[in-house]
Amino acid sequence: MCAVSTASANKKFIVAKFGGTSVANFDTMCKSADIVITNKNVRIVVLSASANITNLLLKLTEACNDNRRKALLKQIRQRQYTIINRLGNPSNIQPIIDNLLARLTSLSEVTTQYPLIARQIDEIVSYGELMSSYLFVEILRQNGVNATWFDVRNIMKTNDKFGKAEPNQQLLKRLADKYLQPKLHESLIVTQGFIGQDMAGRTTTLGRGGSDYTAALIAEALSFSQVDIWTDVAGIYTTDPRIVASAKSISAITFNEAAEMAIFGAKILHPSTLLPAIRAEIPVFVGSSQMPEKGGTYICTSTEKLPQFRALTIRRKQTLLTLHSLKMLHARGFLAEIFTLLSQHHISVDLITTSEVSIALTLDTTGSTSTNGNLLTETLMTELAKLCRVDVEEGLALVAIIGNSLSQINGLGSKIFSALATYNIRMICYGASSHNICLLVSDKEAETIIQKLHKNLFE
């Protein structure tokens, strides 16, 4: 359990975020509603789209013929109506959802004529959160809760980097104080994660998994005491239980450890989520909305125990870029030139190793809503080719060993690599952080490697 600051007027209030599996259908929405109703300290609820709706919406943006477009719209409509049809009195919500579906249909008509730009993709994708939040409000109201639907775009102002927009934190705080603070004692506020609005009034998205980030930003802006992240797993484990059945649950973990896990692929947390929580020292709780009685994991500034090995993570869809040039030999400025070029194309580098005449670096192709993982554009590759020879390897995964003071453990190499003697490790990054060791491996072998490492380090 974490210590809670009492400096704020909102010292007991909680922002509860529910992921897609927690609002996937009527039954899961009702269980999530029960959690909110039970805990009177929850004053703001942040929702993702119902499970798989965002994927359907992204497919809709790529529909190249009218039959495909109509089939996807039908699937989306059916998912909403499986919830509406279970409501005791659907007359209030049905016209609202029908209106959203009609607007979505109208927006999608251009997809069969020409490829959509990022701005149009963001607008279409936002409808998942809009629909799920309206439906959740109706379920709460039919359970006797005074719930208010709130459009998060009124406060979540961002830049215009569609697909992975950056919020304006100062403006968010001012607008949250203006629009949300007065409502906190009047009703339960239900809003959307993931989406925002640029200064021109156009809908943006914060990147896949951005609902966690939304919840933490709102908690920071209003000085809430805690953020609850409700998902389909009862907290954080030593690795993904779907990969290793014997994975152990973790009752409490530090911000540093959790940040490493999020950055290196633990799907239970969005990498940006912890930044607002760390800044404001707001504890984050992670639990299962379907099994709240099982407890979960608290993420705090400090914990009683810091084990050498905390967890294993996996991040798929990694691209390895190897750049060769004799210009590097005893020369200055080559690396600066490469990184300037990558920055101009909005690409951030994850891991890097160098030799006298080459650089190997990894690019994370996950995260953005609108790029579909296509970071290496033809323009970028042409510009890089003018500077060096470029080799691209895909189908890779990043396995990260998360722990504490790893650089001070004697015999660390034998503990790790003795289990992996028969596997090809394409890159090793170690030393820059005492909290992680990263291994770049074939995606096909990544899960087996996780299983072997877990047995060696945790069992």
Which of 31 and 332 is assigned the larger pLDDT?
A: 31
Question: Do strands 195-198 and 252-254 pair parallel, antiparallel, or not at all (unpaired)?
Answer: unpaired
Examine the pLDDT at 22 and tell me if it is beyond 50. yes
pLDDT score recorded for residue 317: 87
* Of 354, 392, 389, the residue nearest 375 (C-alpha): 392
Examine the pLDDT at 4 and tell me if it is beyond 60. no
Interatomic CA distance for residues 42 and 44, integer angstroms: 6
- The per-residue pLDDT for range 44-94, each reduced to its tens digit, is 999 999 999 999 999 999 998 999 999 999 999 999 999 999 998 899 999
Examine the pLDDT at 36 and tell me if it is beyond 70. yes
Q: Are 257 and 404 in contact (CB under 8 A)?
A: yes
CB crowding 252-273: b at 16 or more within 10 Å, else e: bbbbbbbbbbbbbbbbbbbbbb
pLDDT score recorded for residue 208: 75
pLDDT score recorded for residue 16: 98
Instruction: Kindly report the pTM of this predicted structure.
Output: 0.84
Domains of the chain: 14-231 (3.40.1160.10), 310-458 (3.30.2130.10)
Residues at the binding site are 17-20, 54, 129, 231-232, 237, 242
Q: Given pLDDT bands bounded at 50, 70 and 90, which one contains residue 7?
A: very low
pLDDT score recorded for residue 435: 87
pLDDT score recorded for residue 5: 46
The winner for highest mean pLDDT among 131-140, 273-282, 316-325, 381-390 is 131-140
Q: Given pLDDT bands bounded at 50, 70 and 90, which one contains residue 248?
A: very high
Query: Under DSSP, is residue 87 helix (H, G, I), strand (E, B) or coil?
Result: coil
Q: Given pLDDT bands bounded at 50, 70 and 90, which one contains residue 334?
A: confident
| C-alpha dist (Å) from residue 33 to 23, 144, 387, 458 | 9, 11, 57, 36
Residues at the binding site for ATP are 17-20, 231-232, 237, 242
* Of 202, 208, 206, 226, the residue nearest 216 (C-alpha): 226
Examine the pLDDT at 95 and tell me if it is beyond 70. yes
Contacts 24+ apart (CB under 8 A), 33-39: 33/136, 33/139, 33/140, 33/143, 33/145, 35/230, 35/289, 35/292, 36/140, 36/145, 36/188, 37/140, 37/143, 37/145, 39/14
Residues at the binding site for substrate are 54, 129
- The per-residue pLDDT for range 177-236, each reduced to its tens digit, is 999 999 999 999 999 999 999 999 999 999 877 899 999 999 999 999 999 999 988 999
- The per-residue pLDDT for range 262-303, each reduced to its tens digit, is 888 777 777 677 889 989 999 999 999 999 999 999 999 888
Identify the DSSP state of 185. Answer: T
Report, as an integer, the average pLDDT of 112-117.
86
- The per-residue pLDDT for range 359-384, each reduced to its tens digit, is 999 986 655 555 455 678 889 999 99
Q: Are 399 and 152 in contact (CB under 8 A)?
A: no
- The per-residue pLDDT for range 406-419, each reduced to its tens digit, is 888 788 888 888 88
pLDDT score recorded for residue 366: 57
| Phi, psi dihedral angles at 330 (to 5 degrees) | 55, 30
Task: Kindly state the percentage of the chain with pLDDT values over 70.
Answer: 95
Report, as an integer, the average pLDDT of 319-324.
92
Report, as an integer, the average pLDDT of 83-111.
95
Query: Residue type for 352, please?
Result: I
Q: Given pLDDT bands bounded at 50, 70 and 90, which one contains residue 8?
A: low
Sequence-distant (≥ 6) Cβ neighbours of residue 191 within 8 angstroms: 44, 45, 46, 47, 133, 149, 150, 151, 152, 214, 218
What is the rounded average pLDDT for all residues in the chain?
Answer: 91
pLDDT score recorded for residue 369: 52
Sequence-distant (≥ 6) Cβ neighbours of residue 288 within 8 angstroms: 230, 231, 232, 233, 234, 235, 294, 296
